[in-house]
Each structure stands twice: as structure tokens, then as C-alpha cells.
Structure 1
Amino acid sequence: MTYVKATNILPEELISEIQKYIQGETIYIPKPQKARKKWGTCSGGRKLIDERNEQIKTLFKKGASIEELAREYFLSTET
């Protein structure tokens, strides 16, 4: 996370309004919900898990037991 100086990007009126609530502190302003990315989309982690899950489903349909799959993929049988 990078920090940006408010006076460099916000209008003076908005800074004055924010200062009514907080001064000299660091605050986090989240992205709008529609701008957020799902977990793992940037790192590729989501894609790897989706591919792993497809492999597990394929092997299960071919007759692999849940216990075998759990051992092979280092998962609990519940997972």
C-alpha cells in the first residue's frame, strides 16, 4: 500500500471537511466494491486452485477415492 499526501490530490474544501473528523492520522479509503478484484486474480493463485480442483474432479470421476485424492493433494478428506 502506498501513501499519498492529501493536499496533493484532494480539493481544499474536502480536506477541511475531513479535518472535522480526523487530523494528522493515517486513514484507509477502500476502493468501491465494483473496482475490487477477487482473491488471487492478480497473483494467479485463484487460477492455480481452479486448475487443481478440475484435476481433482476429473480423477474422482475416473474412480479415485476421496482418501487417495486428499493424500495426493495434501488436503483433508472434508475439503
Structure 2
Amino acid sequence: MKYVNADIILPEPLLKEIQKYVQGGMIYIPTPESARKKWGEKSGSRNLLSQRNEMIRKHFSEGMTIDQLSGQYCLSCDSIKKIIYSKK
């Protein structure tokens, strides 16, 4: 996060209003909720994990055991069970 001097970017009336609450300190202004992305959406990790989990469910429904899936995907048996039995 880059530091930006408020008197350069904010209009004078807004700066005066903010100075009523904070003088000489640093404040964090978060992005709006509508602009926030969930974990992994920006990098594509969320999508990759969803695809992996679908493949695990598919292999399980085709007859692979939990131990086989655990070895193939390098996950614990408990993690495989959570994926298989989750509601998706």
C-alpha cells in the first residue's frame, strides 16, 4: 500500500472534515464492499480448487477409494472426505 498525502488528493472541505477526527495520523480507507473480491478470485486459485474438487467427486463416484484419492491428490483422507461429502 502506497502512502499518499491527503492534501494533494482530497478537496479542501473534505480534508477539513477529516482533520476534525484525525490530525497528523495515518488512516486506512478500505475499498467499497462491492469492489472486493473473495479469496482466490483474482489469481484464479478459487476456480482451480473448484475444478480439482469436482474431479475428486467424479473419481469417487466412479469407484476410486478415499485412500487412492488421498494418494493421487496429496491430501489427507479427512480432506478428501470433506470434499466428497460437502454439499456442492
TM-score of the pair, normalised by structure 2: 0.74
Structure richer in helix, relative to its length: 2
Q: Which runs of 4+ in 1 moved over 3 A?
A: none
Cα distance change, pair 7–54 in 1 and its aligned pair in 2 (3 A): same
Q: Offset of 1:71 from its aligned partner? A: 2.3
Q: Which residue does 1:44 correspond to in 2? A: 44
Q: How does 1:1-79 map to 2 (within 5 A)?
A: 1-79=1-79
Q: With CA pairs under 8 Å and 6+ residues apart, which has the higher RCO, 1 or 2?
A: 2
Cα distance change, pair 45–20 in 1 and its aligned pair in 2 (3 A): same
Report how many aligned residue pairs link the two structures: 79
Task: Please give the secondary structure, in 2, of the residue aligned with 1:78.
Answer: helix
Q: Percent identity?
A: 53
Deviations 1:14-57 (A, max 9, x none): 11121222222222111111111111111121121112111111
Root-mean-square deviation (CA, aligned residues, Å) is 1.6
Task: Please give the secondary structure, in 2, of the residue aligned with 1:40.
Answer: coil
Between stretches 16-25 and 50-59, larger displacement belongs to 16-25
TM-score of the pair, normalised by structure 1: 0.81
